[in-house]
């Protein structure tokens, strides 16, 4: 068993290896429904991540500024997936959440027309309806380089190289 410290100090015991969503359910079903992610020892984490040692946990719930940022970031990825389905030759740039929405930079495509934007929106709705799992992958820089090379993503490779030069 490990100890999870909640905001304002209460502690609870959970089994090591419990998923954060399970911890949220132990606190209450409403929290589990409203939780978007969690902050564990100051680090933003997915609800499917596990807790393996004593830690502090704060759940980020729908409606909060932090939740909106996470949801906007996820929506940017869904948009990128929709664009790749509709325009397979498009290459991915960056796609951050911004204060009042999100955007994504694409290469190797002409600016989208109004009709194409409607098609992208429809494809995004289709993707959401497919209820595909959204999984974060942590990989080494070498593995990232390999994945991006194989998937022909030169803008992402350039971004990775820029990150490497900064560290």
Domain carrying residue 29: 2-62
Check residue 166 and give its pLDDT.
84
The reported pLDDT for the residue numbered 88 is 96
Residues 92 and 129 in one domain: yes
> Is the sign of the CA dihedral 148, 149, 150, 152 positive or negative?
positive
Summarize pLDDT for 38-51 with one digit per residue, the tens. 999 999 999 999 99
Alpha carbon distance 24, 27 (integer Å): 5
Q: According to the model, what pLDDT value does residue 98 have?
A: 92
Same domain membership, residue 83 and residue 53:
no
> The CATH number of the domain where 134 resides is what?
3.30.980.10
Q: Is 90 found in the same domain as 37?
A: no
Quote the pLDDT of residue 164: 83
CB 14 within 8 A of CB 51: yes
Q: pLDDT value at position 91?
A: 96
Q: 76 and 58 in contact (C-beta within 8 Å)?
A: no
Domain match, 12 and 76 both: no
Q: Which long-range contacts (CB under 8 A, 24 or more apart) does 80-86 make?
A: 80/104, 80/106, 81/127, 82/120, 82/121, 82/123, 82/124, 82/126, 82/127, 83/109, 83/120, 85/123, 85/127, 86/116, 86/119, 86/120, 86/123
Is the domain of 106 the same as that of 154? yes
For residues 47 and 127, state if they share a domain.
no
Q: What is the pLDDT of residue 9?
A: 87
Could you say which residues of the chain have pLDDT below 70?
Answer: none
CA–CA distance, 44 with 136 (Å, rounded to integer): 12
pLDDT of residue 138: 86
Tell me, rounded to whole angstroms, the distance of Cα 99 from its chain centroid.
16
Q: Summarize pLDDT for 61-95 with one digit per residue, the tens.
A: 999 999 999 999 999 999 999 999 999 999 999 99
Q: What is the pTM of this model?
A: 0.82
Total tally of structural domains belonging to the chain: 2
Examine the domain organization and report whether 114 and 152 are in the same domain: yes
92 and 119 housed in the same domain: yes
Residue 16: CATH number of its domain = 3.10.20.30
What is the per-residue pLDDT for 136?
81
């Amino acid at each position: 068993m490990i100890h999870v410290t909640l905001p304002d100090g209460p502690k609870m015991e959970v089994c090591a290896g419990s998923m954060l969503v399970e911890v949220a359910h132990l606190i209450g079903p409403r929290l589990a429904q409203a939780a978007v992610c969690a902050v564990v020892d100051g680090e933003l984490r997915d609800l499917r991540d596990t807790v393996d040692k004593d830690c502090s946990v704060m759940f980020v719930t729908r409606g909060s500024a932090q939740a909106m940022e996470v949801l906007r970031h996820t929506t940017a990825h869904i948009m990128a997936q929709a664009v790749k389905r509709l325009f397979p030759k498009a290459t991915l740039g960056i796609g951050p959440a911004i204060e009042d929405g999100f955007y994504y930079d694409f290469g190797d495509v002409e600016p989208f027309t109004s009709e194409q934007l409607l098609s992208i929106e429809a494809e995004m709705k289709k993707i959401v309806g497919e209820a595909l799992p959204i999984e974060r992958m942590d990989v080494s820089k070498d593995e990232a380089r390999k994945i991006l090379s194989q998937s022909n993503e030169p803008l992402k490779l350039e971004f990775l190289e820029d990150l490497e030069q900064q560290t």
